[in-house]
Amino acid sequence: MNQNETRTESGRRGRVKVAGSGAGTELQPAVPQGVGSEKYERILDAAVEVIAEHGYFNSPVSAIAARAGVADGTVYLYFKSKDEVLRKALDRNFERFYVVVAERFMTLHDPREQLEFVAWLHLQTATENRGMAVLMQTEMRQSAKFVADFSLEHLARYIHLLREVIRRGQASGIFRSDISDGLVAHCLFGAIDELLSSSIFTGRKYEAKQTAAQVLDVLLHGFGGQKK
């Protein structure tokens, strides 16, 4: 549902977009070949790489275009603005993530295992696409409105997913019910997220499977007292 939203472009004065060159034509195709076209994807990939390396505000569109092997102007045939590129890149990633989760949940029903799977997938995905992982740990936290609202949406969805699993676990008696599902969800997400950040910033590797299992161990059984 992309309408021409009146959003203040970053730093640019709002300018009425030309509504097509010919007076008669209605909406000119914002995206020449459609969202899935090869160039569209190339630009997103390039943006992820470049921005991960230098940060959003230190990544000129020209650098992204160059990395993608297209002209500067071409970026604007596929995206309305620089920040739309960032948003779409993050969108794409989240979408993929949820698709995998939904698939796996069709045959994996135990809440404990579901949580562990999500934790694992989160870590694993980041391992496989370091650039995107950097974006998620950095640019997505920007306070700038253009990321903030949108990030919130994605994060809220993630948390929501976890809460549902946790609530089912509570309902079936395998999780404590005297603790809010929201709190637990945030603890789990926060723990994974922090492990990831730390790994990205320090460059230290981890083993996704094992790390996910350990985090779940801590959260499920606690680290106080003897091991059960």
Partner DNA sequence: TTGGCAAATGAGTGAGGATTCATTAGAGTG
Partner DNA sequence: CACTCTAATGAATCCTCACTCATTTGCCAA
Q: How far is the CB of 133 from DNA (least distance, A)?
A: 22
173 contributes a contact to DNA by CB under 7 A: no
Nearer to a second copy, 78 or 83 (CB): 83
Block residue for tokens 């922090």? 194
The correct pick among 61, 137, 208, 212 for binding a second copy (CB under 8 A) is: 137
What three-state secondary structure class fits 37? coil
194 contributes a contact to DNA by CB under 7 A: no
19 contributes a contact to DNA by CB under 7 A: no
What three-state secondary structure class fits 220? helix
Q: Cβ contacts of residue 185 below 8 Å, gap of 6+?
A: 159, 162, 163, 166
Nearer to DNA, 36 or 203 (CB): 36
Tell me how far apart the alpha carbons of residues 177 and 171 are, in angstroms, rounded to a whole number.
Answer: 8
Contact mark string toward a second copy, 45..84, x via CB under 8 A: -------xxxxxxx--------------------------
DSSP per-residue letters across 194-213: HHHHHHHHH-----HHHHHH
227 contributes a contact to a second copy by CB under 8 A: yes
Tell me how far apart the alpha carbons of residues 54 and 52 are, in angstroms, rounded to a whole number.
Answer: 6
Q: What amino acid is encoded at 108 in this protein?
A: L
Q: How far is the CB of 171 from a second copy (least distance, A)?
A: 14
Interface stretch with DNA, choices 18-26, 153-161, 208-216, 217-225 (CB under 7 A): 18-26
The correct pick among 19, 35, 53, 60 for binding DNA (CB under 7 A) is: 60
Interface stretch with DNA, choices 10-18, 127-135, 154-162, 212-220 (CB under 7 A): 10-18
User: b vs e for 23-60, b when ≥16 Cβ sit within 10 Å of the residue's Cβ?
Assistant: eeeeeeeeeeeeeeeebbebbbbbbbbbbbeeebeebe
What three-state secondary structure class fits 93? helix
* Residues forming the site for a second copy (CB under 8 A): 10-11, 52-58, 112, 134, 137-139, 141-144, 148, 151-152, 155-156, 159, 166, 174-176, 178-180, 183-184, 186-187, 189-195, 197-198, 201-202, 211, 214-215, 217-227
